[in-house]
Structure 1
């Protein structure tokens, strides 16, 4: 699979694009983790920014509605619901404080029922925001596990336990948590996504490998090149997943059978982190070097 890659500089030097999300209106949202700001690239390429305040650390985002996103402020121990405004800027629709002090909310995923779930790095827990803005927290029962990234499929939640080398699964919000232990030690699971066929893909940043958990629970691992450091995973609407390789400055597409197509970013030291796939198949990648990469696969629909 070939692809065209274009880089779009965003933010100020050193601000560090980290997370990225695409809303259904065609906008690309991103966090500037070292700059304390969130940005939005509109469908026409126009840029808007919102500062979350001194000492904030916007980490990851999730599309919430047609045009709005949830973003975590890890050091601020809060989540914010953001929207574009009529003046061409960005505004806060709501701010949700996490009840547990220093919980360090990190990843977030919005569900179709209007709720949002998030991970707590510092509290080994999940959090849920209901449609009225109320927060419940659910300890995962494994101390020191560093609950990291999260994905959803219907009402099922999947999340990585970075320090524990495991993946958690909740089939419905009130169900007991089931764990899948990853055999590689250390594995350091971070990014996670549910593919169109229901398989769950996990990036093992410390093991330079991917894990695939089939719907029947079968675990398959796919080794990558040493030093590749897979970070984020995003499902492609046509099947398979995309993965950012932080260590080698690449983005790869992995088909369900494990076949890999590699794409070199223009700068091998660009440090790709978060990525998201738009409905038309375009892949957006946050490069900590200071840009968003727009990757258009040759097979993406017009």
Structure 2
């Protein structure tokens, strides 16, 4: 008779599905790769069929896709039980998986991580960098426990607004417009425009729409660091969030654009399921550190 499915097996399945491999899952769980392999194999014996395709990266089988949401729920519920017990005894512990866009990881998260570490020394925050559009999906699917979302709309109670991040023109310091207090987007027409195809594209297009100015990007760049490097090399100009300032080389500058456009950054848990006590406590701590 097949053995019963247990939490360790489900935790191993979730970890391999999220990380794409048994070695990375072992690092995630803090156990040996052999232990992960045995747990997944035992789960497959209990279910009578494979749940993972052993490729690079590993991906769930059709059965695994059906089991995975329930596995996530079970793992999250177990973590919530542990967190409730810890909170009852006076502290926060466990792990919170937090997703955020690149610029937030660069500029805002380091300070928050230091504050959280000081306030909750037994709590581990693991950061996952992603693009704006994929973060809500990660959050609602249970891949992460909390996320910094861009223009979140109507976030659930307990969410924390981290601020408004305005859009700026990115120029070389020797560009004729670099010394201005602000730049109308029409003034950028004489330069080749490098468009970031990440989450900021809609904000850039909105600025040009408001200005009723033709928008014809010459280059389309996926990676933000590549875009900055190309502007630095003199290939053209771009528009990006003010938080990108920490990523710039010394001979590049950011200048506010007109019409002004900004994105709102919100730190939140999921809308489709209850937050764990660890997430609730973490966001309550963030609310204290973010200026009103």
Range class of TM-score, shorter chain: under 0.3
Higher relative contact order (CA 8 A, sep 6+): 2
Structure of greater Rg: 2
Q: TM-score, normalised by structure 2?
A: 0.21
Higher helix share: 2
Higher strand share: 1
Q: TM-score, normalised by structure 1?
A: 0.21
